[in-house]
Structure 1
């Protein structure tokens, strides 16, 4: 696929995710967009779906081949792993989808030096999300900064 076409499809994908439009996400994925293609300053589609709590869209992206552990490196507020993003905001259904598709419950942000998903869930506090992560084998890092 040509680079220009891929860029347009990527933009459509991000707008569809922001709008919670599963039909549009499905259409863009069928058109051949790379579900791991970074947008803007380095935000992944799966990170965006995770932080906004779009569990159905996260499922579509994961089924299309999005990597559940790829760290987003977007601007302020758009960096981290999809699982940390979902845990931070208590997006329990999205956390469930990510775990079901192989997300590592102990993968820390900042290339392994930051907080864990369980740290974020506990800080929320989001006890249902923390319980789900703990059941999946997550441990807290003890970091609070």
Structure 2
């Protein structure tokens, strides 16, 4: 598939994610859109779906091959999908990411930033905290 066509598919994928339209996301992925391809600023599809709590779309992207722990680097969209979902208390999205192998202890910013648990504790989102701890998340320093 040529670069121009892939770029068009990527734009369609991001538009479908922004609209929260799982059926359109599914169709664009079936058309060959790369679930890992970042937009022009570095934001990744999985991050965009996770930060907005779109669990069904997160599931579609992961099933299509998006890596659960790949950091996004877009302006205002920096970090891991799991940290983004945990920060906003999107518990179902956190559950989906963990099911697909997201690391509950992976810190953002190439390992120097906050972990999903730290985000969930600081806001706070107790249900998300519980889910992360049950998945093996360890607080910095070892105690909650």
What does 1:1-145 correspond to in 2, within 5 Å?
1-75=1-75, 77-141=76-140
TM-score normalised by length of structure 2: 0.96
**Structure 2 gap segments, 5+ residues each:** none
CA distance in structure 2 between the aligned counterparts of 1:37 and 1:140, rounded to whole angstroms: 32
1:79 aligned counterpart, secondary structure: strand
Deviation of 1:141 after TM superposition, in Å, equals 2.5
1:83 aligned counterpart, secondary structure: helix
TM-score normalised by length of structure 1: 0.96
Q: Contact between 1:115 and 1:141, CA under 8 Å: does it hold in 2?
A: no
**Structure 1 gap segments, 5+ residues each:** none
Q: How many residues align?
A: 141
Deviation of 1:139 after TM superposition, in Å, equals 1.4
Deviation of 1:50 after TM superposition, in Å, equals 0.2
CA distance in structure 2 between the aligned counterparts of 1:72 and 1:98, rounded to whole angstroms: 15
CA distance in structure 2 between the aligned counterparts of 1:141 and 1:108, rounded to whole angstroms: 10
Q: Which runs of 4+ in 1 moved over 6 A?
A: none
Deviation of 1:41 after TM superposition, in Å, equals 1.0
CA distance in structure 2 between the aligned counterparts of 1:70 and 1:140, rounded to whole angstroms: 21
CA distance in structure 2 between the aligned counterparts of 1:127 and 1:40, rounded to whole angstroms: 35
CA distance in structure 1 between the aligned counterparts of 2:21 and 2:15, rounded to whole angstroms: 9
Deviation of 1:124 after TM superposition, in Å, equals 1.2
CA distance in structure 1 between the aligned counterparts of 2:139 and 2:116, rounded to whole angstroms: 8
1:86 aligned counterpart, secondary structure: helix
